[in-house]
Amino acid sequence: MVTLKIDNQTVTVPEGTSILEAARGAGISIPTLCYLKGLNEIGACRICLVQVKGKEGFVSSCNTPVKEGMEVVTDSEEVKAARKESFQLILAEHEVACGTCVRAGTCGVQGLARPIGTFATPYEKKITHEEWDPDLVLQRDSTKCVNCMRCVAVCDKMQAVHIWENKDGKVRVRDGKKLAETDCTFCGQCVTHCPVAALKERDDTDKALAAIADPEKITVVQIAPAVRAAWGEALNMDRDAATVNKLVCALRKIGFNYIFDTNFAADLTIVEEGSELVDHIKNGTLNAPMFTSCCPAWIRFVKGQYPEFVDHISTAKSPQQMFGAVTKTYYAKLLGVDPSKIFTVSVMPCMAKKAEAALPTMNDAGAGQDIDLVLTTREVARMIRKAKILPKDLVDEEFDAPLGVSTGAAVIFGATGGVMEAALRSAYFLMTGKNPEPDAFKDVRGMDGWKEATFEINGLKLKTAVASGLGNTRKLLDALKRGEVHYDFVEIMACPGGCAGGGGQPISLNEERADVRGAKLYELDKNNPLRFSHENPAVQALYKDYMEAPLSHKAHKLLHTDPKAWKMPGEK
């Protein structure tokens, strides 16, 4: 242990602790911009400067380790002046347009302006303008970039995809490529960790509003599981008060015609994917391991980085895409309308869903793309504010029927391990004819990046694994390639913590919220009277009236896909 003084306060911390973390542990605030604990501790922004007695000049507190007897000053006039100068140099390369910026209120630069005491700079403005394809899911505005290196660190160290680099002091796509030429998964973690609006999703809100205003279109919107645990954050709502039924109310006020729950399609996914797993087990054709297929960023990752595992992926579409196919066939028939009149919109915690919806293989209903438009949780929050809808005016309203009925098994899709647990609940039933205890498979829960659990079902030992975050996924796949591990069934989610920590979720600067959002989803599961996907009466009715049976010919046409039928950049 090391004992030192910070602003005359005696602090004792473990050896190797940075001055910044030692100060934070003592309740002493030091401003930062580029810092991400464990990922980006490089002192690039020079905002966290402090003085160390006996040492000339200033040191960056984020990457300076404490020493025995050290005396640190964090708030002298000299320190404040040095930070102000660093901030003004950053402002010289940052286009300040807070009034129209999507990150107003969650911007690292904006948040520093008041405590540092300026939003002006005496230095000559040197704004970098970079051309960018406006149709790409991931948008980059180089005029906002502060070269903090967070995106580089997150993509390299957390996600292990290596899309960004710093070249001559400027962040760019690695090797001078266009983003469309890379294996970018569109996971969006670089976006949620960018402190400014240099990175963001493609804004599709105007397209949604245009569809609502078109009298020839019937707008059908679905709300993903993880959205309900996070949407209220962007509107400063308490998590328990921001129910999914209040979001239903908000979307009706905006003008959507029918509002459904992606959880319905999540239950449908479980019935199909669970049946696929059990079918392989009974026929002895399990291509171990069988991977889940719900996460489109994971699908992009495995196709681009580990193509040898593509044949191991479940053929079941994601809930989003199953919902689109069902809406433009079964539901169009229930409404008695031409499917081409239906405009399907998804509200997702994810950016990669925008790319998934546009795939050439996602149009099986025969009325254009099965999903016409995808909005992130952040985009929907902006639409609510634009419509001048106040949280206090929202009341709980029910989803429309029948695609608004769902179970607790579906809602936990949004948490890491949730798809695995939901699938095992139904696989147990399909193999034994009876339901397990709802929480029998809770060992797959938790925020660990790579989890293992073995379950016995009807005498069969099923070895499972769950990974979240593509860096953890790479470790798992490498271990499989080396023959160090063996699994029967594997769940992969590209974002740490699963969809709860998705790249389209509200941004809370320097705070990870996947765990608290995931806990909310498990609470909703526990309180749901239906906790098994195969017991969803709306799903049962779908099979009885239209889809015939799980894995039927019609189910394969509408609810399954071939991940090899489209190509990643450079894929042969």
Q: Could you give the residue ranges of the DSSP H alpha helices within 92-224?
A: 108-116, 150-153, 189-193, 205-213
> pLDDT exceeding 70 applies to what percent of the chain?
100
What SS3 state is found at 263? helix
Predicted confidence band of residue 533 (pLDDT cuts 50, 70, 90): very high
List the end-to-end C-alpha distance of the chain, in Å, as a whole number: 56
Strand pairing category for 218-223 and 258-261: parallel
The kind and range of the H/E element at 489 are strand 489-493
Query: In this structure, which amino acid lies at residue 520?
Result: K
Contacts of 510 (CB under 8 A, 6+ apart): 32, 35, 36
Which CATH number does 100-202 carry? Answer: 3.30.70.20
Any idea which of 100-104, 160-164, 213-217, 375-379 has the lowest mean pLDDT? 100-104
pLDDT score recorded for residue 28: 96
pTM for the full model?
0.95
The closest of 277, 349, 308 to 497, measured between CA atoms, is 349
Confidence of residue 556 (pLDDT cuts 50, 70, 90): very high
Q: Which residues partner with 489 through β-bridges?
A: 290, 464
- Average the pLDDT over 385-392 and give the result: 96
Judge whether residue 572 has pLDDT over 80.
no
Q: How many CA atoms lie within 13 A of 143 on its CB side?
A: 9
Mean pLDDT of 12-38: 96
Confidence of residue 118 (pLDDT cuts 50, 70, 90): confident
Residues 6 or more apart whose Cβ sits within 8 Å of residue 28: 6, 7, 9, 74
Rounded distance, CA 271 to CA 217, Å? 31
Strand partners, 219: 343
Spatial distance between the Cα atoms of 331 and 425, rounded to a whole number of angstroms: 27
Whether 45 and 33 have beta carbons less than 8 Å apart is answered as: yes
Bridge partners of 124, per DSSP, are: none
3-state secondary structure of 519: helix
Paired tokens of 410 = 């579906």
- Long-range contacts of the stretch 441-448 (C-beta < 8 A, 24+): 444/417, 444/420, 444/491, 445/415, 445/417, 445/421, 445/522, 446/416, 446/417, 447/416, 447/496, 447/497, 447/514, 447/515, 447/518
Average pLDDT, the chain: 96
Residue-wise DSSP of 275-340 = HHHHHHHHHT---SSEEP---HHHHHHHHHH-GGGGGGB--BPPHHHHHHHHIIIIIHHHHTS-GG
Q: What angle separates helix 108-116 from helix 77-91, to the nearest 10 degrees?
A: 140
Cα–Cα distance for residue pair 396/310, rounded to 1 Å: 42
* Contacts for 239 with CB less than 8 Å, ≥ 6 apart: 229, 232, 233, 516, 517, 520
Q: Looking at residue 283, what is its pLDDT?
A: 82
**CA–centroid distance for 270 within its chain:** 20
Query: Could you give the CA distance from residue 227 to residue 176 in angstroms, rounded to a whole number?
Result: 35
Under CATH, what is the fold of the domain 210-565? Answer: Rossmann fold (3.40.50)
Collapsed DSSP state (helix, strand, coil) of residue 369: coil
Closest-CA residue to 408 (of 393, 390, 426): 426
Collapse the DSSP code of 543 into the 3-class scheme (helix H, G, I; strand E, B; otherwise coil) and give the result: helix
CATH no. of 2-91? 3.10.20.740
Rounded mean pLDDT of 257-263?
Answer: 98
Burial (CB count within 10 angstroms: exposed 0-12, middle 13-18, buried 19+), residue 568: middle
Query: For residue 36, what pLDDT is reported?
Result: 95
**pLDDT above 80 (res 570):** no
The string of DSSP codes covering 192-249 is HH-SSSSEEE---HHHHHHHHH-TT-EEEEEE-GGGGGTGGGGGT--TTTS-HHHHHH
- Cβ pair 68, 2 in contact under 8 A: yes
pLDDT digits 0-9 by tens, 190-204: 999 999 999 999 999
Q: Which sequence spans correspond to the domains of the chain?
A: 2-91, 100-202, 210-565
Give the contacts of 225 (CB within 8 A, at least 6 positions apart). 262, 263, 266, 410, 411, 412, 413, 414, 418, 499, 521
Query: Looking at the predicted structure, is the pLDDT value of residue 286 above 80?
Result: no
Q: pLDDT tens across 55-110, in order?
A: 999 999 999 999 999 999 999 999 999 999 999 999 999 999 998 999 999 999 99
How many alpha carbons lie under 13 Å from residue 511 in its C-beta half-sphere? 11
Give SS3 for 9: strand
Q: Tell me, what's the pLDDT at 542?
A: 97
- Of 275-284, 401-410, 417-426, the poorest mean pLDDT is in 275-284
What are the CA-CA distances from residue 114 to residues 33, 104, 234, 296 (Å)? 14, 14, 21, 40
